[in-house]
Structure 1
Amino acid sequence: MRLLTDADLAQLLDKEIFHKISDAADSLGVECYVVGGYVRDLFLERPSNDIDVVVVGSGIEVADALRKSLGRKAHISVFRNFGTAQVKYKDIEVEFVGARKESYSHDSRKPVVEDGTLEDDQNRRDFTINALAVCLNKHRFGELVDPFGGIDDMYDGIIRTPLDPDITFSDDPLRMLRCIRFATQLNFFIDDDTFAALERNAERIRIISGERIQEELNKIMMTPTPSKGFVDLQRSGLLQIIIPELNVLDIVEKRNGRAHKNNFYHTLEVLDNVCRTSDNLWLRWGALMHDIGKPRSKRWDNSAGWTFHNHNFIGAKMVPDIFRRLKLPMDAKMKYVQKMVDLHMRPIVIADEEVTDSAVRRLLNDAGDDIDDLMKLCEADITSKNQVRKKCFLENFRMVREKITDLKEKDYKRLLQPCIDGNEIMEMFNLKPSREVGDLKQALKDAVLDNKVPNEREPLMRLLMEKAKKMGLKCGNS
């Protein structure tokens, strides 16, 4: 963070767009301020092209005056119901709103809005670091207005609400997620009183739509260390409402002196590990979801201790419900996350045993183009504190990767497609698309994958006839 004087701010705002806004506001005789995130990010030295402007008067009129002064390259969108307007010019977007004060009903986050002063407008802001305003009028250009000590909070790395946090969060519960998201993005801490209000008001999050929740979760996920946000979500009680399947991982059971690891904190460690190697949002979701099947699969075995057999398969089945509830996409992105969850144990099993061609071929066949992402997830999943064991696993994964590369070079896709396809099988045995056709295709594929027969027509045809005979099928050409 850098400390800026009013003169410094005036110099940083010495750009065409801000002088044009200043002229538009002065021509209409109204006060005008750049507010919120743009001002915050000047102090934090973060890039920002989205500019929010508050006008003590009509924001729409100032926006229209700005659009006229910028000429034909500027475009304006007016939202009269909300008293806002947006001007787009080159790669810049400026959002205008009239200063206002708000009041809320208990069952909605949509406020009743009235015209207000700059003070009213700053009072309604979510956090002190977002309640900063810099005047754009010519005679006060660059003057900072910071009524809640937002600069001090930024310097101290604190997220705090301007007014009573219980009122702030109860009025608009989405601010609870924004609170945690900002703390995660900026690597700040949440003020103690503010965090206590998160705990008291957690149930209010139920009135927020899945779309708004997932938008904030995705922003947390795309930070360098999303575990920080998920720990705050869990500690505040929000996680058990939003993703209870993840919250229940936070348990350690002990029996006969044998305990399993805390799978919640393990999951967060895996997530952070993935973030160091990939900026793929959906791989990060795969990391977050990879062990959600463990509570449902957990069993005690007197000889083996705690087991979690098939937790990958159970977890993959749980993914669609979570995505649907959070209004996350139900398309190929969800299926990709399912695949990551379902397959994340496979490379570990391969690496733990002899790394055979047939096992790696099957893995390649099932993972397809996502094999590299799957390997990143599996390597991230090695969180053992036993350095010898960890080194052994990573060395085995290195061998798996080498085998993958070797098989790719042999054009595995071509090799793994049996030269007798489903259409020919249906024609030979007078079958329609059915389970029998699928079983015959799979038998050929398994034989090729396991290197039992070469992918050549004659040996595959012999195998096909043997399998069909056992199934009671007769070739229509015989």
Structure 2
Amino acid sequence: MIFQIREDERKIFEVIGQAAAALGFPTYVVGGYVRDRLLGRPSKDLDIVCVGSGIELARRVADNLHPRSRVTVYKRFGTAALKHHDMEIEFVGARKESYRSDSRKPTVESGTLTDDQNRRDFTINALAISLNDHDYGSIIDPFNGLEDLEAKRIVTPLEPGKTFSDDPLRMLRAIRFSNQLGFRIDPVTFRAIKENRERIKIISWERIATELNKILLTAKPSIGLRLLDESGLLPYILPELAALRGVESRNGRKHKDNFIHTTKVVDNLAERSDDLWLRWAALLHDIGKARTKRWEPEAGWTFHAHDAVGERMVPKIFRRLRLPNDRLKYVQKLVALHQRPISLTQEEISDSAVRRILFDAAEDIEDLMTLCESDITSKNAKKVQRYLENYEQLRERMREIEEKDHLRNWQPPISGELIMETFGIPPSREVGAIKDSVREAILDGDIPNEYEAAYAKMLEVAAGMSLQPVRE
């Protein structure tokens, strides 16, 4: 079969092919780019495999490009990369690999194209296109990857048990590709994932997090999340999420499956936003429910304070998965606050309560409301509509109070520095108490959000502490 080369590909393929011919290196486009092009998916990452030195080929290609490209060399891995227009191109020499049982880092040595295809994770990723004169454009498909593309099937090129034991990260990649592409995992391949699930423990948390992020960024993350659960991988990766699985019944009363609920919330959120960290907040929003589940004869199943417990659990999860510290507080805040808006729709809403949620959520109030709307998973369409209308009424109240009080991203009019300067006192509990009293007075609506009123309140509170101004 001949690959249909597009005009935008032709020039770069020709430059690579000519450089390879001059060096005497048989050269091929391999892997994801071939797969995605055959599926009609966009791809800007081009993987080039040559039987020779990938670094030498990259340098020759860069010299032949106009304008000349800069080559980044990764000598330790024997690879090189360059950027051409909007395309990222990586070059590597064909190689074969062997693994030890206690590591996913292989022993690597030079090999043939066949050796290189043998080490690929799945048949659909082992497809190659020749850039050589004698068979230019031919698709080289030793494992019937084209058939698997047509059948929308994830299959390993070699025996799946060995494939996953050698490099357990491939188990997560199988699930991620299934989720991204809408493919099913071959039953024999999926059984091998189950049998080798414990091997995931040798994979670094950074690599696991990368695959989790890619699953969360799919159009329907629940597919990947449920496959992680069905495969038995979830308890090794996110035991807190796995603990939500299942339904318990007493006296004819049962609670919902909080794992299934969570996957639906993440899907709902994915329809509203492509923000990765907002999706993480959706994934973790009910993480405290397993620890707070209680049976109360009068109330039934309860999960009191699961939002506060979940807030305390988030940092440990972030540390374990090596997720970025600069997004921790954001996710933690949304988990902590996700119950607040619904409580404001179930009672007479006071201005003070609305001010407090605006103050506590600050610049993330819109994301919080999006999370809360995504948290509606009822199958009753009328109930869903009622909840959404209630949230819209709350949004309107927020807009009215924000317009009047300007509380989003609010900084109190009275700072700790002003308090210390006014009363000639060092940093102390008194400073914090005065500051808190002024803030609470503004949030309760006792005084307007203005400097003069806040200053007068500061003097009043300080007088109650026997503090007097030391300056006019």
Instruction: Give secondary structure in 2 for the equivalent of 1:334.
Output: helix
Counterparts in 2 of 1:197 and 1:416: CA distance versus 1, 3 Å: closer
Look up the match of 1:425.
419
The answer on 1:348 being equivalent to 2:350 is no
In 1, distance between residues paired with 2:380 and 2:395?
Answer: 23
Please state how far the C-alpha of 1:335 moved relative to its aligned partner. Answer: 0.4
Please state how far the C-alpha of 1:432 moved relative to its aligned partner. Answer: 2.4
Out of 111-120 and 140-149, give the one that drifted further.
111-120
Look up the match of 1:451.
445
The answer on 1:278 being equivalent to 2:278 is no
Contact 1:135 1:142 in 2 (8 A): yes
Look up the match of 1:475.
468
Contact 1:170 1:204 in 2 (8 A): yes
Look up the match of 1:113.
108
In 1, distance between residues paired with 2:298 and 2:213?
Answer: 42
1:75-114 per-position Cα deviation (integer Å, ceiling 9, x unaligned): 2233333332223333333212222211000111111112
Residue 381 of structure 1: which of 370, 375, 388 is its match? 375
Instruction: Give secondary structure in 2 for the equivalent of 1:211.
Output: helix
One-letter amino acid of the counterpart of residue 64, structure 2: S
Please state how far the C-alpha of 1:297 moved relative to its aligned partner. Answer: 1.5
Residue 367 of structure 1: which of 348, 361, 367 is its match? 361
In 2, distance between residues paired with 1:177 and 1:415?
Answer: 40
In 2, distance between residues paired with 1:145 and 1:414?
Answer: 59
TM alignment of 1:103-252, pairs within 5 A: 103-252=98-247
The answer on 1:409 being equivalent to 2:400 is no
Q: TM-score, normalised by structure 1?
A: 0.93
Instruction: Give secondary structure in 2 for the equivalent of 1:217.
Output: helix
Contact 2:127 2:140 in 1 (8 A): yes
In 2, distance between residues paired with 1:454 and 1:12?
Answer: 65
Contact 2:103 2:202 in 1 (8 A): yes
In 2, distance between residues paired with 1:457 and 1:55?
Answer: 70
Q: TM-score, normalised by structure 2?
A: 0.94
In 2, distance between residues paired with 1:42 and 1:414?
Answer: 46
Contact 2:255 2:301 in 1 (8 A): yes
Instruction: Give secondary structure in 2 for the equivalent of 1:361.
Output: helix
Out of 316-325 and 88-97, give the one that drifted further.
88-97
One-letter amino acid of the counterpart of residue 375, structure 1: M
One-letter amino acid of the counterpart of residue 208, structure 1: I
Out of 166-175 and 428-437, give the one that drifted further.
428-437
Please state how far the C-alpha of 1:473 moved relative to its aligned partner. Answer: 3.7
In 1, distance between residues paired with 2:95 and 2:177?
Answer: 24
Contact 2:359 2:409 in 1 (8 A): no
Counterparts in 2 of 1:476 and 1:189: CA distance versus 1, 3 Å: same
Counterparts in 2 of 1:203 and 1:473: CA distance versus 1, 3 Å: farther
One-letter amino acid of the counterpart of residue 135, structure 1: S
Instruction: Give secondary structure in 2 for the equivalent of 1:179.
Output: helix
TM alignment of 1:61-80, pairs within 5 A: 61-70=56-65, 73-80=68-75
In 1, distance between residues paired with 2:404 and 2:281?
Answer: 29
Contact 1:416 1:448 in 2 (8 A): no
TM alignment of 1:46-61, pairs within 5 A: 46-61=41-56
Contact 2:359 2:408 in 1 (8 A): no
Q: CA RMSD in A?
A: 2.2
TM alignment of 1:269-308, pairs within 5 A: 269-308=264-303
Look up the match of 1:16.
11
TM alignment of 1:90-105, pairs within 5 A: 90-105=85-100
In 1, distance between residues paired with 2:445 and 2:53?
Answer: 75
Counterparts in 2 of 1:395 and 1:90: CA distance versus 1, 3 Å: closer
The answer on 1:42 being equivalent to 2:45 is no
Instruction: Give secondary structure in 2 for the equivalent of 1:9.
Output: coil
Please state how far the C-alpha of 1:49 moved relative to its aligned partner. Answer: 1.8
Instruction: Give secondary structure in 1 for the equivalent of 2:47.
Output: strand
Contact 1:355 1:399 in 2 (8 A): no
One-letter amino acid of the counterpart of residue 64, structure 1: R
Look up the match of 1:442.
436
Contact 1:13 1:142 in 2 (8 A): no
Please state how far the C-alpha of 1:36 moved relative to its aligned partner. Answer: 0.3
| Structure 2, unaligned runs of 5 or more | none
One-letter amino acid of the counterpart of residue 442, structure 1: D
In 1, distance between residues paired with 2:62 and 2:436?
Answer: 64
1:253-292 per-position Cα deviation (integer Å, ceiling 9, x unaligned): 2122211111111111111111111111110000001000
| Structure 1, unaligned runs of 5 or more | none
1:385-419 per-position Cα deviation (integer Å, ceiling 9, x unaligned): 23333222211101001111222222523996554
One-letter amino acid of the counterpart of residue 86, structure 1: A
In 1, distance between residues paired with 2:343 and 2:29?
Answer: 57
In 2, distance between residues paired with 1:170 and 1:415?
Answer: 50
Identity %: 55
Please state how far the C-alpha of 1:464 moved relative to its aligned partner. Answer: 4.6
One-letter amino acid of the counterpart of residue 186, structure 2: D
One-letter amino acid of the counterpart of residue 109, structure 1: R
In 2, distance between residues paired with 1:207 and 1:433?
Answer: 49
The answer on 1:319 being equivalent to 2:327 is no
1:235-256 per-position Cα deviation (integer Å, ceiling 9, x unaligned): 1111101110111000212122
Contact 2:402 2:408 in 1 (8 A): no
Counterparts in 2 of 1:49 and 1:477: CA distance versus 1, 3 Å: closer
One-letter amino acid of the counterpart of residue 303, structure 2: F
Counterparts in 2 of 1:171 and 1:467: CA distance versus 1, 3 Å: same
In 1, distance between residues paired with 2:155 and 2:451?
Answer: 71
In 2, distance between residues paired with 1:199 and 1:154?
Answer: 23
1:124-161 per-position Cα deviation (integer Å, ceiling 9, x unaligned): 10000000011111221111111111111111111110
Counterparts in 2 of 1:77 and 1:415: CA distance versus 1, 3 Å: closer
